[in-house]
Amino acid sequence: MGAWQNEKKERELFWRDMKNTESLEGYVEEITELVVKDKIAVATKHTANVAAHLRAGSKTSSRIATLKKGDICPPLTKKGKVKSTPKVAVPQLPEPWKALMEVALALNHDRDVDIPEDCDISHLSPNRQQLYRLALDSLRTFKHDKQRIIAKKDASLHDYFEDDFLTNAADAYHLPTPKNRTATILDPLLKLLAGRTPRFILEEVRVLKGRYQEKQRKGEAVPERWEAILDVVEHVCQLVLRPSFEGNASEADVVAEWKAVINMLLRDSSIYMRSGECVSKSSKDIKALLDAEYDDFGSFGRKVDLTMHAHGLELANLEFKVGEAKDLDIKIQNRKNIRLNRAIMEAQHEACGGIKSPILFFDFQGWHGSLFALYAYEDIFVSKYLGPVALPRSRNGLKIFLQGETLQTLFMFTDHLVAMAEALQESREEREDLASKKRHMAIFTRQVTPPSKERRVSGNVFLTPTKRK
Measured CA to CA, the distance from residue 168 to residue 162 in angstroms comes to 10
Handedness of CA 339, 343, 344, 346 (dihedral sign): positive
Residues 193 and 288 occupy one common structural domain: yes
pLDDT of residue 56: 55
Handedness of CA 33, 37, 40, 42 (dihedral sign): negative
Considering 99-108, 140-149, 293-302, 341-350, the range whose residues carry the highest mean pLDDT is 341-350
Q: Is residue 468 one of the residues assigned to a domain? A: no
More confident residue, 273 or 25: 273
Contact indicator for 398, 241 with CB cutoff of 8 Å: no
Contact indicator for 400, 197 with CB cutoff of 8 Å: no
More confident residue, 168 or 328: 168
Q: Is residue 88 one of the residues assigned to a domain? A: no
Q: What percentage of the chain has pLDDT greater than the value 70?
A: 71
Last residue of a domain, one of 147, 171, 195: 171
Q: Is residue 444 one of the residues assigned to a domain? A: no
Out of 59-63, 192-196, 244-248, 316-320, least confident range: 59-63
Q: Tell me the average pLDDT across 96-121.
A: 84
The domain in which residue 57 lies consists of 3-65
DSSP assignment of 179-206: P--SHHHHHHHHHHHTTS-HHHHHHHHH
Contact indicator for 280, 304 with CB cutoff of 8 Å: yes
User: Between 198-218 and 183-193, two packed helices, what is the crossing angle to 10 degrees?
Assistant: 150
pLDDT tens-place string over residues 25-62: 555 555 555 544 445 555 555 555 655 555 555 444 44
Out of 72-81, 218-227, 415-424, least confident range: 72-81
More confident residue, 142 or 179: 142
Measured CA to CA, the distance from residue 407 to residue 389 in angstroms comes to 8
Out of 117-131, 152-166, 375-389, least confident range: 152-166
Q: Tell me the average pLDDT across 63-74.
A: 48
pLDDT of residue 144: 80
3-state secondary structure 257-287: HHHHHHHHHCCCCCCEEEEEEEECHHHHHHH
Count of Cβ atoms closer than 10 Å to residue 374 Cβ: 24
pLDDT of residue 282: 87
Residue 293 has pLDDT above 90, yes or no: no
Plot region of 363 (φ>0 → left; ψ -120 to 50 → alpha; else → beta):
beta
Q: Is residue 20 one of the residues assigned to a domain? A: yes
Q: Is residue 351 one of the residues assigned to a domain? A: yes
Residue 96, preceding bond cis, omega within 30 degrees?
yes
Last residue of a domain, one of 119, 146, 171: 171
pLDDT of residue 294: 67
DSSP code for 446: -
pLDDT tens-place string over residues 193-228: 988 999 999 999 999 999 999 999 999 999 999 999
Last residue of a domain, one of 65, 89, 108: 65
Residues 152 and 265 occupy one common structural domain: no
Residues 205 and 150 occupy one common structural domain: no
49 CB-near residues (< 8 Å, 6+ apart): 72, 73, 74, 75, 76
pLDDT of residue 244: 73
Given the DSSP bridges, would you call strands 313-321 and 359-365 parallel, antiparallel or unpaired? parallel
Q: Is residue 70 one of the residues assigned to a domain? A: no
Residues 131 and 243 occupy one common structural domain: no
Residues 294 and 416 occupy one common structural domain: yes
Residues 128 and 222 occupy one common structural domain: no
pLDDT tens-place string over residues 387-418: 999 999 999 999 999 999 999 999 999 999 99
Please calculate the CA angle 276-282-286 and round it to the nearest 5 degrees. 125
Q: How many domains are there within the chain?
A: 3
Q: What percentage of the chain has pLDDT greater than the value 90?
A: 38
Q: Is residue 331 one of the residues assigned to a domain? A: yes
Residues 164 and 190 occupy one common structural domain: no
pLDDT of residue 363: 96
Q: Name the band, by pLDDT with cuts 50, 70 and 90, for residue 88.
A: very low
Contact indicator for 123, 132 with CB cutoff of 8 Å: no
More confident residue, 196 or 155: 196
pLDDT of residue 94: 77
Measured CA to CA, the distance from residue 52 to residue 77 in angstroms comes to 9
pLDDT of residue 65: 47
Per-chain mean pLDDT for the chain: 79
Measured CA to CA, the distance from residue 298 to residue 120 in angstroms comes to 30
Residues 245 and 392 occupy one common structural domain: yes
Q: Is residue 229 one of the residues assigned to a domain? A: yes
Residues 26 and 127 occupy one common structural domain: no
**Residue 275 burial (CB < 10 Å; 0-12/13-18/19+)?**
middle
pLDDT of residue 100: 85
pLDDT of residue 384: 94
324 CB-near residues (< 8 Å, 6+ apart): 248, 366
Q: Name the band, by pLDDT with cuts 50, 70 and 90, for residue 158.
A: confident
Q: Tell me the average pLDDT across 61-72.
A: 47
Residues 422 and 278 occupy one common structural domain: yes
Residues 231 and 204 occupy one common structural domain: yes
Residues 147 and 288 occupy one common structural domain: no
pLDDT of residue 388: 96
292, 205, 263: which is closest to 414 by C-alpha? 263
